[in-house]
Structures are given as C-alpha cells and as structure tokens.
Amino acid sequence: MSLTILTHPLAGHVITHLRDKTTKPATFRTLACQISLLLAIEATRRIETEKKPIETPLESVTGDVLAHQPLVVVPILRAGLGMVQPFLDLFPDVSVGYIGLERDHETAVARSYYCKLPKLDGRHVFVVDPMLATGGSAVKAIEVVKAHGGTDVALVTIVSSPEGVAEVGKHHPAVPIFTAALDRELNARKYILPGLGDFGDRLYGT
Ligand code: PRP
Ligand code: URA
C-alpha cells in the first residue's frame, strides 16, 4: 500500500483555511481548487513523457512533452466535483467519468446512484474524492472502476482518516493514495477529526 501526503507549506496553509468553520463556500471552493491542483501535480508525477525536437528562436533542442495517453479523472459525486477543474486545466485531453455515491446519515454506508465512465482500459485513472472517512465510498468507487476495465488506478483525497487508508489498503492494496492531510480518527458518526465537517455541504452551501 502506498500513501503520499503533501508536504508543501502551501498545502498546510490551504488545509487550515478549509478546516476553519468560518470559511464561506465561495472561498472554500477556491481553496478546494488550490489544494486539488497541488494533489493533481503530485499524483501525476510519474506519467509518461516522450522526446520532441523543436526549434527555439536560437537553436534546435529536444525537449520532453507528455506522451499521448489521455488521463481519466473520476470524481465521486458530489463533493469530488470540487477537485476536477485542476485536472482539466493541467491536462487538456483528460476524460471525466462520474460515480455517484452517497453515505447514509445513520449508518455511514455509501449507496450508489449514478455511474457514467469513459473507456478506462490502458489509461491512468484518478478517482477523486475530498474525504476518505470509513473508506466505504472509495472502496466501492474503485471496485466500479476496476469492473469497467480500469487497471491503473490512483485515489486522490484532501483529508484522510487512518481507518479509511487502512480500508482502501485492505481491499485495493495496489491503488496508491495521494492526500493532503492524514487526520487523527473518526468520531462516533464516522466524521473525520479534526476534519473539516461535511465537505459537500461546505462546497455547495447546503
Ligand atoms: C462524503 C465524501 C465521500 C464520503 C466519505 O460524501 O465526499 O464520498 O462522504 O465517507 P466514507 O469514506 O465513510 O465513505 P457524501 O456521502 O457525504 O456525499 P456528498 O458528496 O453528496 O456530500
Ligand atoms: N464526509 C465528509 O464530508 N466529511 C467527513 O468527515 C466524513 C465524510
């Protein structure tokens, strides 16, 4: 199991403002984009490049460009939507798939309500969801991605709990996890502590 936690000082700064309960939805959305940009850069560190000869105004040089292998970003609805834009900005050829999962407020068990995925076979797939709590949603989403042919899958989250990381590691040991913060624990209602509350509600002002 591989877990990468962002160490850039900007990540800590953004996470602190996301956690702050006085942060309003408009700012929260901007911060979610900022942290997702850092995560997108980290999670794609190993994608392939190829050589391309070009002419600068002064001489010829061979540089690196991204190899043609479109990536796929799969947000878990709805909170995962807040992490998609940086992938679109960085990788113009990215495809977007959607998996709709919602946790039951009493049991914290995720229920599936939507799925629309592009071709996944042979592509780098990034499942994005800001909160990895019990891990139930992430485990289910990765199962769906694998069932649709995804073999190269990574999970990108903003805040993770030790319980969630362990759960994903147990069910999908080959799926690397990239996160901005590894928090302390879950509370009795399966919310992450210290956490930032309900990400979807704070993102969309609900
Ligand atoms: C949140 C979050 C994850 C899930 C994490 O979504 O975005 O998908 O909970 O919890 P878990 O690890 O215990 O499964 P939620 O179900 O609240 O739906 P929303 O995105 O529509 O707000
Ligand atoms: N979903 C959230 O949005 N926050 C948590 O702390 C746990 C699940």
For 26-72, how does the pLDDT look when each residue is reduced to its tens digit (9 = 90+)? 999 999 999 999 999 999 999 999 999 999 999 999 999 999 878 99
pLDDT beyond 80 at 21: yes
Q: Is 107 among the residues known to form the active site?
A: yes
Whether 134 is catalytic is no
Question: Structure tokens of 157?
Answer: 């989250």
pLDDT at residue 197, rounded to an integer: 98
Question: Model's pTM, two decimal places?
Answer: 0.97
- Asked if pLDDT for residue 92 goes beyond 90, the answer is no
Do the Cβ atoms of 124 and 87 come closer than 8 Å? Answer: no
Distance from residue 191's CA to the centre of ligand 2 (Å): 5
Q: Is the model's pLDDT at 190 over the cut of 90?
A: yes
Confidence at residue 2, expressed as pLDDT on a 0 to 100 scale: 98
Mean per-residue pLDDT over the chain, rounded: 97
The SS3 of residue 201 is helix
pLDDT above 70 as % of the chain: 100
What number does the ligand 2 atom closest to the CA of 192 have? 6
Ligand nearest to the CA of 129: 1
Q: What is the mean pLDDT of residues 144-165?
A: 98
CB neighbour class for 50 (10 Å; exposed up to 12, middle 13-18, buried from 19): exposed
What SS3 class is residue 39? helix
